[in-house]
Amino acid sequence: MSAVPDRDHELVTPQLLRSWRLPSPTGGKESRGRILIVGGSAEVPGAVLLAAEAAMRAGAGKLQVATAASVASILSVALPEALVRGLEETPGGALAADGVDRLEGLAEGASAVLIGPGMTDVEEAQRLTDRLLPTLECPVVLDALGIASVTADPGCLGRLQGRAVLTPNPSELALTLHRDADEVSDDLAGAALDLARQTGVTVAVGGVVSWVASPSGALWRDESGGAGLGVSGSGDVRAGVTAGLLARGAEPDQAAVWAAHLHGRAGERLAAAIGGLGFLARELPAEIPRVQAEIEI
């Protein structure tokens, strides 16, 4: 377990979340926001599928997915709720930065954009985000290789004026801060705060304990979850939940804190039903509405 730093933080509990309620939808699917998820590759199409379902389970109203052309038709069948657009890809099957031009219309109408799940080429990912981020006006979640532009330039999100959430895992957090992984794992909270202050956006990092750091200096600790969440695809689900909550109108800090707890409690529910280890990331999204309903009683 990472060391608990001697600094002020709030413990995330259902009581805290009940005092910080999510925006309530006022009408049909348009009132719950339109989300665009950019990611995937020929080798890892499932990451987008996990993130997309999680975003919808978190309450987003309309779903749009942009992914590698070779897997777009497969994802369109797996996600009948979505508009799926195929983008140019590299010879290795990764998203190519040249495909950004095909995102213009989708991004303009989005309430939130998630970039990164399933991307596999670091250089192309950075080129893509370098070109896409300056065009976005809505809140953004950057996950996995979607954080590549931030690694190169922590100030690249300045124009979003705080309307973004970074969702790195501990190793990605260390890479983004250009620090030793052991140093970061010893104080995830401090590292998350440092990145939040450098970038001016919210940072949510998972582990045995999850931390959410605000650029304001506020810090939240979430102890829900368990070892079972350390499984392939789990981070994609959490990023999708975060983006889905942003699409509904949650503020970045709020979306990140709620997502950490919803994700953790979903893991606890599966651990109770299946076992502490052995449940799959694909089983997490279906638990999200149930956990949310329990909290909002």
The single-letter code of the amino acid at 29 is K
User: Do 279 and 270 form a contact (C-beta atoms < 8 A)?
Assistant: yes
- Count CA within 13 A, CB hemisphere, residue 80: 0
Q: Is 278 exposed, middle or buried (0-12, 13-18, 19+ CB in 10 A)?
A: exposed
- Count CA within 13 A, CB hemisphere, residue 273: 11
Where in the chain are the domains?
10-20+30-145+156-295
Q: How far apart are CA 170 and CA 182, in angstroms?
A: 9
Report residues of the chain scoring pLDDT below 50. Answer: 1-4
User: Do 189 and 5 form a contact (C-beta atoms < 8 A)?
Assistant: yes
Q: How far apart are CA 19 and CA 152, in angstroms?
A: 38
Q: What is the pLDDT of residue 3?
A: 44
- Do the strands 112-115 and 82-87 form a parallel or antiparallel pair, or are they unpaired? unpaired
DSSP calls for the chain: -----SS--EE--HHHHHTSPPPPP-SSGGGG-EEEEE--BSS-THHHHHHHHHHHHTT-SEEEEEEEHHHHHHHHHH-TTEEEEEE-B-TTSBBPGGGGGGGHHHHHT-SEEEE-TT---HHHHHHHHHHHGGG--S-EEE-GGGGHHHHH-GGGGGGGTT-EEE---HHHHHHHHT--HHHHHHTHHHHHHHHHHHHTSEEEE-SSSEEEE-TTS-EEEE----GGG-STTHHHHHHHHHHHHHHHT--HHHHHHHHHHHHHHHHHHHHHHT-SS---GGGSGGGHHHHHHHHT-
Q: What is the pLDDT of residue 105?
A: 85
Q: Does domain 10-20+30-145+156-295 have CATH number 3.30.365.10?
A: no
Residue found under tokens 């582990």: 207
Q: How far apart are CA 234 and CA 280, in angstroms?
A: 8
Q: What is the pLDDT of residue 27?
A: 60
What is the torsional sign of CA 290, 241, 48, 275? negative
